[in-house]
Amino acid sequence: MEEDAAFGPESLALPPEQIQRRVEESLRQVGLWEMRQRSPHLLSAGQTQRLALAGVLAMHPLCIVFDEASTMLDPSGRSMLLETMQRLNREAVTVIFITHFMEEAVVAKRMVVFSHGQVAMDGTPDEVYAKPERLAALRLDLPPAARAAAAVRASFPDLPEGLLTPVQVIAALPEYPRPAATFPDEIPAANKEDLPPLIEVNGLGFTYMLGTPLAHRALVNVDLRVGVGEAHGLAGMTGSGKSTLMQHLNALIYPQEGQVRVAEFNLNDPNVERRQVVRKVGLVFQNPEMQFFEHFTGDEIAYGPRQLKVEEPLAERVRWAMEQVGLDFDTYKDRPLFSLSGGERRKVALASTLALKPEILLLDEPTAGLDPASRRDLLDKLLAMRDSGLTLVLSSHQMGDLARLAHDLTVFYQGRSVLTGPTVRIFEQRETLRGYGLEPPVAAQVAAGLRAKGWPLPQGIMTAEALQAAVAQALQGVDR
């Protein structure tokens, strides 16, 4: 990695001692200095983004364009990126930041919204976010904290406008108007039966480049259990082992230590028929391009069914798969893959996996790179798949997505599975999560802040809608 970070300064013909100083400075800024001798091809997607940032920072440019630079970063990595951008701007560096995360634009001095190649809105973040109807027409959202504030505004008509962060929302809300409030029972976790395990992982360990000086321990004694029809989330910092685990679950990687059983397949058996595993277990990669074989969209989605010789006409199977992800068949089937946006490529990758009609769907960062409306649409479709009985395992850095989709959640840290349980219970452990570089959903943060002000809100609040209902319930019969 240090060679990669040094490439720019070397191209500028800087003195060696200055190059060395800049490389160390930039790698420390992005949190990669301690692993500087690791090969870039062994990095996770989030770590790769950090390395790319280090390479740019090492050149000390006067202007930096961050194009979706936070897409693959975990919450702590995104905070680091935003702090870095603000520091650079204070040092007179011009920063242009392209993002689909509406909460990230809050730190900007000027916000420009584009639609169909034209400027649709232009102003400060406060000015832009003051027009939610206009944003909705552009398929955009308010930041999560602003949505939480809007959800409780019916109970607090005097709540000021322009609340864009959880801290601002909590500070603006009053103390509970009654003393010694009694806290109600917690919101129950998802009511699911004790289903037989469809996926069982026990003591899984894996080392990349085993037996070489570049050996990297990716998984250490990992356990996982997923029931039939369950949606199970995986959370953790970049490089914590989530993607490596997923690649074990469809036999892309075979276990070095421990046991992995998926459906009727013992994946420790080197003779297992991988073609049969792939029929049942579909994997959508973190980077869509890694699973593309063809040049055109329709051909790519048809590739898997064609290889497996499905009986259904290919055109009908492709049309069905494209409908599942919101891609119009006639519009996209003949589009070259290279002409698609990052979000469209992610939809194609999902459609090509769904075209196999798997019983288990593994999703590695499924909403990365999608605009807010496309993200909502995809989450709605995944919810429908979950409710129809499809077993889902999904990793994500978006805690709100996991709160909405996952019955249970496993948190990874440095290759280990450190927390497992119902999603609402895991997200109640805010301080523990912070130690692992994660944060609960914004609605959960606001609810925790209100409890600290004496509000009798139940545990387990994960969404703005649940927050709205809990606040309204707490105010029943209260004189304000």
Per-residue pLDDT reduced to its tens digit, 420-479: 999 999 998 989 999 999 999 999 999 999 999 998 999 889 988 899 999 988 888 565
**How many CA atoms within 13 Å lie on the side-chain side of 32?**
29
Instruction: Give me the helices (H) in 36-165, please.
Output: 45-57, 75-90, 125-129, 132-137, 144-152
Per-residue pLDDT reduced to its tens digit, 21-43: 999 999 998 888 988 888 887 78
Question: What pTM did the predictor assign?
Answer: 0.85
pLDDT at residue 145 greater than cutoff 60? yes
Q: Alpha-carbon distance 144 to 164, whole Å?
A: 8
Tell me whether strands 408-413 and 416-422 are parallel, antiparallel or unpaired.
antiparallel
Tokens 């003591």: give the residue. Answer: 203
pLDDT band at 310 (very low <50, low <70, confident <90, very high): confident
What domains sit in the chain, N to C, each tagged with a CATH number? Answer: 2-99 (3.40.50.300), 144-186+444-474 (no CATH), 197-427 (3.40.50.300)
Q: Alpha-carbon distance 410 to 419, whole Å?
A: 6
Mean pLDDT of 324-346: 90
Mean pLDDT of 298-320: 92
And the tokens for 271? Answer: 């003779």
DSSP state for residue 359 in the 8-state scheme: S
Write the DSSP string, 2-57: HHHHHHHHHHTT--HHHHHHHHHHHHHHTT-GGGTTS-GGGS-HHHHHHHHHHHHH
Tell me whether strands 111-115 and 118-123 are parallel, antiparallel or unpaired.
antiparallel
Q: Which helix (H) or strand (E) holds 465?
A: helix 464-474
The answer to which of 184-198, 269-283, 313-327 has the lowest mean pLDDT is: 184-198
pLDDT band at 185 (very low <50, low <70, confident <90, very high): low
